[in-house]
Structure 1
């Protein structure tokens, strides 16, 4: 009896893991190990950029594992698995907020494990509550139960330690669970079920507020800082690839304007790699004071000689930097907004362009989950050079696309935004008098969508 799908996935996973192993060795990286108490370079994309072959091999491995799980797991187990996933989030939050994560990282022998009774005594907690929480985290691979009711951090959990990227990415906004609970009512039953307004979302229902999510966050400083930290890390995850994978030397404009550029981290990285550019960071009035202070501290010479400027600008207003001197970056801006608002933002920038100017939209590109549009594995292993079997996987990479699809639902519930497909990007861009000149996939979850004035539309 032929087991076509099972055989295909087994062969594809073997190919992916063999390539992963080879790429790790070629990159002179240490072997991956869950037993290790030391962080691995691949654990932090904000500081280490893997080779293209390594990036693709890891993504393919994860896609195969997800497809394999979908194939062999019973539907009833799958239902329970999905419903209980939310408890995993709450459990890691608990370990962080109680201080257990930091304590487990500081013990003399972190791989040996700490008894739950010791943790309960240290933090004045109930061990009968701590053990199930730690076992839930162990099932997700964050900790190991070294012996009955004794626990040690896995390598990956070190990202949650104070000061590390995962700690900042792992924000918890009070009431966030309420948004999730509101979704079915909002989509199917509420008066807003057909609305695409950023003022009529699951967020307003859950928080009982008329404010747009961004306005509410600004008015609630207790969540403003952690959310700003989260967004900073989310951006930093793609920065090394943005700098390395886009042909910056081809830009014909001397000045790069980062619209909504926050604390200026992306511009700083670009200037480090390409010092011939000048740069401008634009953001709201309440942000630029902080950004100016950071830039004056980190890049005093660039600020003093005018290479780097920070200026206030609301991207819902006309763009003041006009003409061939400027190209523009919109990173993680467009997915925040529905098409109407996104068209306003992009349209203001489009009207400022000269013929040589470019707009670089840095955002996720959602791939339709259509089985017929399968992706050839061989074409992905750009660094391998080897000719091998042509396994095929769904073009959306199955479970490896969950970050994109999850982000799309999150943006929808918060502000009626979304992660757009290439067809949707093309429609949005064309409506602003632009054309897509290229799409650059990154070694990250995002891509760079390069746009220029559509001079053909003017003929």
Structure 2
């Protein structure tokens, strides 16, 4: 009996894993292990483009295998209960159980739930299912019956580590999304003030206006966004050809805490930089920059200024190039075009706009058979065909998750290259190049269309 799809995926998975193993060896990376008590360089270094490609292949294969093998009802139950994965990890972080496990005198053995319950004055009968669900999702290890230890992944949540700042919960927005899309008075609206966010928070304000009136939400949001930015910052600095820019000043529009421009200045000290953001944000950013880069602030190399993206860009002419990172995906086309148009009107002939966003790939052939040479480095035509989604399936799930999240928050979305071209061309610009990064994002380089 022929098992065509299963056979193709098995061959593809084996080939992808073998190639990944070789590329990791060539890059002198240690073996991956969930049992290691030492963090893998994967969390802090930039892989080669080739290595990242061959990480996507097995992830795509595994996603397709799960779709092929798993019962549809089990798959649906997985979806329904997936919200508990985030809630369980949040519980371990909020209680500081994660930190306590990290301080275990015997990391390989872990700590018994009875001891955790006693230490934190919690109910052991609640902790066991929570920890086991975390273990099933690959976040901790159950070393023996009802004893748990950290693994490689969970170390990112230890106090002071990056993952700790990914702290926003979207559950209230998720719950109301189906009714918003199908039943609400706003189901045909594309306004950023008529979304799941307004329903969940019982407010007429769009998200950013609501944050301005609820400043207690600003710091956790800024921390959350900084982590998302930091995930791509090393690749942006390394993979875009900054030396080709003909303008001496880089303006980061909506630049938050200034992490990106400071990284660029460290790597390319010939530039000057300006961080622009909302007034309540730049107060925090200005204070941080005076503390961390006092010389740059005093000398004028780095400036921080308030600017509303929906107002005319005050920095005009050949002296400036502009960054819009994770800005335009927040907004529907009308508002995105207004923001981009304001920057476009400020450009000189030598200026560039660098749109740093995810580029969605339409999954038009997710079940089609594709030639191996379309995604493998070996172009031998005698190799069998494989079933791999055009957008790498499970390996690109995050892009689609971001898109739905932006939709629910602001009626925004992650755009395909065709959609980016339409938006850019409509603002009197042209795309001069697209630079894929060793991250989920790309740099879409734009200039005046003259």
TM-score by shorter chain over 0.5? yes
- Residues 386 and 29 of structure 1: is their aligned pair in 2 closer, same or farther, counting only changes over 3 Å? farther
Contact 1:145–1:151 at 8 Å: present in 2 too? yes
CA distance in 2, matches of 1:295, 1:386: 54
CA distance in 1, matches of 2:228, 2:264: 17
CA distance in 1, matches of 2:19, 2:381: 12
CA distance in 1, matches of 2:400, 2:406: 10
- Residues 268 and 374 of structure 1: is their aligned pair in 2 closer, same or farther, counting only changes over 3 Å? farther
Contact 2:168–2:224 at 8 Å: present in 1 too? no
State the partner residue of 1:255: 249
Q: How does 1:24-63 map to 2 (within 5 A)?
A: 24-42=24-42, 44=43, 47-63=44-60
State the partner residue of 2:196: 202
3-state SS, counterpart of residue 360 of structure 1: strand
CA displacement 1:13-38 (0-9 Å, x = unmatched): 11211121112212212111111111
Deviates more, 1:17-26 or 1:384-393: 384-393
Tell me the CA shift for residue 189 of structure 1: 0.8
CA displacement 1:51-98 (0-9 Å, x = unmatched): 111111112111111111111111111111111111111111111111
CA distance in 1, matches of 2:351, 2:384: 40
**173, 183, 190: which is aligned to 2:177?**
183
CA distance in 2, matches of 1:272, 1:191: 50
- Residues 385 and 100 of structure 1: is their aligned pair in 2 closer, same or farther, counting only changes over 3 Å? farther
CA displacement 1:292-312 (0-9 Å, x = unmatched): 222222222322322222111
Contact 2:256–2:281 at 8 Å: present in 1 too? yes
The ranges of structure 1 where at least 4 consecutive aligned residues each deviate by more than 3 angstroms after the TM superposition are: 372-382, 384-392
3-state SS, counterpart of residue 237 of structure 1: helix
Contact 1:91–1:136 at 8 Å: present in 2 too? yes
- Residues 388 and 121 of structure 1: is their aligned pair in 2 closer, same or farther, counting only changes over 3 Å? farther
CA distance in 2, matches of 1:207, 1:294: 31
- Residues 101 and 280 of structure 1: is their aligned pair in 2 closer, same or farther, counting only changes over 3 Å? same
**155, 165, 172: which is aligned to 2:168?**
172
CA distance in 2, matches of 1:386, 1:233: 41
3-state SS, counterpart of residue 432 of structure 2: strand
3-state SS, counterpart of residue 225 of structure 1: helix
TM, length-normalised to structure 2: 0.95
Tell me the CA shift for residue 2 of structure 1: 2.5
3-state SS, counterpart of residue 262 of structure 1: coil
- The reply to whether residue 68 of structure 1 matches residue 65 of structure 2 is yes
State the partner residue of 2:9: 9
CA distance in 1, matches of 2:375, 2:323: 27
- Residues 137 and 129 of structure 1: is their aligned pair in 2 closer, same or farther, counting only changes over 3 Å? same
Tell me the CA shift for residue 391 of structure 1: 5.3
CA distance in 2, matches of 1:75, 1:431: 43
3-state SS, counterpart of residue 82 of structure 2: helix
CA distance in 1, matches of 2:291, 2:382: 51
CA distance in 2, matches of 1:88, 1:310: 39
CA displacement 1:337-369 (0-9 Å, x = unmatched): 111111110000000011111100000111111
Q: How does 1:3-402 map to 2 (within 5 A)?
A: 3-42=3-42, 44=43, 47-169=44-166, 171-173=167-169, 176-371=170-365, 378=373, 389=383, 392=386, 393-402=388-397
3-state SS, counterpart of residue 394 of structure 1: coil
Contact 1:436–1:449 at 8 Å: present in 2 too? yes
State the partner residue of 2:403: 408
CA distance in 2, matches of 1:270, 1:206: 38
CA distance in 2, matches of 1:283, 1:206: 26
CA distance in 1, matches of 2:372, 2:338: 39
CA distance in 2, matches of 1:255, 1:135: 52
- Residues 282 and 222 of structure 1: is their aligned pair in 2 closer, same or farther, counting only changes over 3 Å? closer
3-state SS, counterpart of residue 432 of structure 1: coil
Aligned length: 448
Contact 1:256–1:326 at 8 Å: present in 2 too? yes
TM, length-normalised to structure 1: 0.94
Contact 1:53–1:381 at 8 Å: present in 2 too? no
3-state SS, counterpart of residue 178 of structure 2: helix
**418, 422, 427: which is aligned to 1:427?**
422
Unmatched segments (≥5 aa) in structure 1:
none
- Residues 435 and 83 of structure 1: is their aligned pair in 2 closer, same or farther, counting only changes over 3 Å? same
CA displacement 1:222-251 (0-9 Å, x = unmatched): 432222111000000000111111111111
